[in-house]
Amino acid sequence: MLNKKDLRIVFMGTPNFAKASLEALVDNGFNVVGVFSQPDKPSGRGMKIQPTVVKEYALSKSIDVYQPEKLKAQKEEVLLKLQEYNPDVIVVVAYGKILPEYILNFPKFGCINVHGSILPKYRGAAPIQWSIINGDKQTGVTTMYMDEGMDTGNMIETVICDIDSNDTYGTLHDKLMVIGGELLVHTMDKLCENDGKLDSIKQSDNFTIAPMLSLENTHIDFNSEAETIINLVRGTNPFPTAWCKKQDETVLKIYEAHKVEKEEYKSSELGEVVHLNDKKNLLYVKVKDGIINIDELKAPGSRQMKSGDFIRGNKIKLGDVLK
């Protein structure tokens, strides 16, 4: 049996989802000897250079941080850093870079990834978002061994999580972030108990790709059913946000919407604004199988707001057709 304090771990991660796993390792007494994170980038109104949240946390715990720009182009430099850290295992959580073969083969106990889906259900960059967009009732987190494919390695453990009807990408992300940290600790405990060996199973070929979200796949098609549109809105809230355009080409970001059971407006055009009430936050839009109400939205140059505030600002009128 390995002592967790003797197991040398290099952690690779960048955003909050990764920070929760790093924090879980540290809080549970694991020996994180070094951290890889994405390079610092400008952000905010002043576009000041900001460290990643993983970097900030690691430095607060006096853990060395390394931020290479390109893992393949900087192979010699990266290898020197790995030799310095001398990890027994590399843990990867939302790092944002594909690991080349020389890194995958470096640690004696392999590279272990925390992935935000029930593999092989969703492989790719946006598994949490697509689980909501596609109307799934459950998702989860999987720990897996990494290989050269995109989320194709052998699965170690999985925890299932229900998707509530009011979950957004933001709320589900936060649930899975916590589950991911807990599952990683459980997996690493088992690694220690079994002297670096873990049972794992090969993934089936029944998988779905969860591609990055783009302007194309986040655009609202009002020729779709209400549930499809609402799932898209939920699955992209708070980022990157579902969107549509007014007739004047103004882009509207849609943050919340729900279906309205109304029999009227059957002759209205798809995408047409058929009812407005600023006091009750009612902004009805005709869709394929009825009506949706847009509850919260944002126009360029303004803040995110309830539909009543939006209506009072005269940014929309009856008969406008969204597209």
Q: Please state, in angstroms and rounded to a whole number, the distance separating the CA atoms of residues 140 and 163.
A: 9
pLDDT of 46 reads 76
pLDDT of 247 reads 87
CATH of domain 8-209: 3.40.50.170
pLDDT of 6 reads 95
For 79-108, b where at least 16 C-beta lie within 10 A, e where not — what string? Answer: eeebeebebbbbbbbbbebebeeebbebbe
**For 169-207, what is each residue's pLDDT tens digit?**
999 999 999 999 999 999 999 999 999 999 999 999 899
pLDDT of 50 reads 93
pLDDT-derived band of residue 288, with 50, 70 and 90 as boundaries? very high
Q: Please state, in angstroms and rounded to a whole number, the distance separating the CA atoms of residues 18 and 177.
A: 8
**For 38-75, what is each residue's pLDDT tens digit?**
999 987 777 789 999 999 999 999 999 999 999 999 99
pLDDT of 219 reads 98
Cis, peptide link before residue 238, omega less than 30° from 0:
yes
Both tokens of residue 48?
A: 């000041």
Higher per-residue confidence, 43 vs 2: 2
Backbone angles phi, psi at 196, to 5 degrees: 90, 5
pLDDT at 287 over 90: yes
pLDDT of 44 reads 74
- Report which DSSP code applies to 148: S
**Do 82 and 104 touch, CB atoms closer than 8 A?**
no
pLDDT of 189 reads 98
pLDDT of 279 reads 96
- For strand 242-245 and strand 65-66, is the pairing parallel, antiparallel, or unpaired? unpaired
According to CATH, where is 3.10.25.10 located in the chain?
226-312
**For 98-147, what is each residue's pLDDT tens digit?**
999 999 999 999 999 999 999 999 999 999 999 999 999 999 999 999 99
- On whether the 226-312 domain is CATH 3.10.25.10, my answer is yes
The mean pLDDT value for 237-258 works out to: 96
The mean pLDDT value for 251-280 works out to: 95
Q: What is the mean pLDDT of the chain?
A: 96
Cis, peptide link before residue 240, omega less than 30° from 0:
yes
According to CATH, where is 3.40.50.170 located in the chain?
8-209
pLDDT at 80 over 90: yes
Q: Which of 12, 8, 49, 53 is nearest to 32 (CA)?
A: 8
User: CA 44, 62, 14, 99: dihedral to nearest 10 degrees?
Assistant: 140
pLDDT-derived band of residue 8, with 50, 70 and 90 as boundaries? very high
* CA distances in angstroms from 313 to 1, 117, 252, 253, 271, listed in the order given: 66, 41, 14, 16, 20
pLDDT of 16 reads 97
pLDDT of 321 reads 97
pLDDT of 42 reads 87
**For 113-125, what is each residue's pLDDT tens digit?**
999 999 999 999 9
For the chain, first and last CA: distance in Å? 61
